[in-house]
Amino acid sequence: MRIILLLFTLITGSVAHAQLACSTQGQNRQGGVITPFISTGTPAADAVVNGGSGAGTASRYMGDGKGVITIPVVFHILYNNAGQNLDESLIRQQLVVLNTAFRKKNADTANIPEAFKSVAADCEIEFKLAVADPLRRSTNGIVRKYTSIKNWLDDDKMKFAASGGSDAWDATRYLNIWVCNLALSSGYSSFPGDAAAKDGIVLRTGLVGSKVLVHETGHWLGLKHLWGDTYCGDDQVDDTPKQSTFTPGCPTGVRPSCGGGAPGDMYMNYMDFTSDACLLMFTQGQKARMWSNFVTSGKRAGIIDSKGLTPAANDEIPLPGEENPQKPEEPVTAALKLYPNPAINRLTVDVGADDRWLGKTISIYNTNGEQVLRSIINGKQQAIDITRLLPGLYFVAGKQENGEQIRVKFIKN
C-alpha cells in the first residue's frame, strides 16, 4: 500500500487531491482462492434467482421480482474527536452514492464512451443499513465508538475492540464498513473468502460520501483492479480491456495501453483510480463475477439468508442484564478497565485511554438493574470502596453527553 501511495504521489504530485489511493492488492491476502470467473453468457445470478436450493431464501430480497440482492450494511464509526463522529445523514448519503453506482442510476451514463455503453451494467445489487443486529436487536446499522487512536494504518486493528476498534458483525450476514482516520490510504477491502473477523471494508473518515466506497465494495464482491495489480495484468473479467496501470485524475478521449488500440482503457470504470467525477460504470462481466458470490455454494451466499434487514420482533429483545450479548464476556469499550476482577474491597475503574470520562458519574448496578453505588471519576484510575456490596455480579455503567454508553461487568467476592 505504501508503494501505491508513493506512485500516486509521484504521478499526481499530491495525495491531497487523490480521490482514490486504494490499498487493496491482489486477491485473497489471507491465502484463500477465488474461483475463476467463467463467462457463460448467463449471469451466475440465475442460479440464485431461478433455481437451486437458494431460490426460496433469495426471493425475500427480490424487489418487484427483479432479482435484486440487497445487502445489509453496518458502519463502524470510529472517532477520536466530535468531527469524526459523522452525522447519520452523511452515512445515508453514502449509501445513495453506492446504490446509484450499483444500479447504474447515475445521471452521467451518457458520458460512457459509445464503445463501452453496451457492457455497462445495472449490477442489481443494493445496500441498506441493517435494522437488526446479529442478536436480533433493533439497530440503525451504525455503531459509534470513541477511540483513543488518532491515526490508523492498513493493518486491520480497527476491526477489533481489543486494539481500539470495533468488532465485526457476522461477516457472512453483513457487510462491515469501518470508518476511521486512515493515515496512508483512502480505503481497502477484504476479498470473498478472507478471514471472517477481518472481512469488510475500511474507509477514511473524510471520504465518506465519495465513490471510494463503490470501488472498495467492488473488491468486497471479488473484483480486482482493471490492471490486475501488475503491468497489463489480468482482472479475470472478459469485457474490461487490458490496461497497463491505474489512471489518475480525470482524463478524456481514448487512452490505449498494453498494445491495444481503440477503444482504449476503460478508465471510467469504478475499479480504476480515476477521480470521482469520471467514474461511471461497472461492466456485465464484473456484475457476473460479483453475483457468482451469491450462488448456493458461493463465498457470500450467507448474505442471502441474513436477517439483518428483517425488523427485530419485540419478543426477541434481550432480557435485562443481556444488553451486550454479542460478546458478553468483553467490555463494551476497551477504553474502560476494571480491576481486580473479581474484586473484594476495592475496585479500580481505569479510564486511562479515554479521558472524556474524567468528571463523569459512573454507577454500579446489580443484576436486578438496581443502582447500588455512584461515584464521580476524579482521576484516570478511580478506586471505589465496594466493601458493603454483597458478593455477586455487578455492572459499572456510565454515559456521555452524546449518548455513548459503557457497561462493564465485574464480580464482587
User: Which H or E run includes 216?
Assistant: helix 212-220
By beta-carbon proximity to Zn ion, the closer residue of 24 and 375 is 24
By beta-carbon proximity to Zn ion, the closer residue of 32 and 321 is 32
CB of 246 to Zn ion, least distance (A): 9
Binding mask 14-43 for Zn ion (x = CB under 5 A): --------x-x-------------------
By beta-carbon proximity to Zn ion, the closer residue of 24 and 70 is 24
CB of 22 to Zn ion, least distance (A): 3
What is the torsion angle, in degrees rounded to the nearest 10, for the CA atoms of residue 254, residue 255, residue 259 and residue 263? -30
Residues 170-189 touching Zn ion, rule: CB under 5 A, are none
Contact call for residue 268 and Zn ion (CB under 5 A): no
With contact defined as beta carbons under 8 Å apart, do 211 and 187 qualify? no
CB of 189 to Zn ion, least distance (A): 7
CB of 224 to Zn ion, least distance (A): 8
By beta-carbon proximity to Zn ion, the closer residue of 23 and 375 is 23
Cell 452523511 belongs to 90
**E-assigned strand segments in 123-243:** 125-129, 142-146, 175-180, 187-189, 201-204
Report the distance separating Cα 139 and Cα 120, nearest Å. Answer: 35
Concerning whether 370 is annotated as a catalytic residue, the answer is: no
Catalytic residue, candidates 88, 114, 126, 216: 216
Coil, helix or strand at residue 235:
coil
**C-alpha 148: how far from chain center:** 20
Query: Terminal CA-to-CA distance of the chain, rounded, Å?
Result: 50
Contacts of 335 (CB under 8 A, 6+ apart): 146, 147, 148, 351, 353, 354, 357, 406
Please count the residues of this chain forming the interface with Zn ion, following the rule CB under 5 A: 2
The residue whose Cβ lies closest to Zn ion is 22
By beta-carbon proximity to Zn ion, the closer residue of 22 and 74 is 22
How many Cβ atoms are within 10 Å of 48's Cβ, its own excluded?
A: 28
By beta-carbon proximity to Zn ion, the closer residue of 24 and 286 is 24
CB of 21 to Zn ion, least distance (A): 9
Sheet of strand 371-376, all strands in order from the earlier edge strand to the far edge: 371-376, 361-366, 392-399, 405-412
With contact defined as beta carbons under 8 Å apart, do 70 and 126 qualify? yes
CB of 356 to Zn ion, least distance (A): 35
State which amino acid sits at residue 324: N
Q: Which residues are catalytic, by number?
A: 216
Residues that bind Zn ion (CB under 5 A): 22, 24
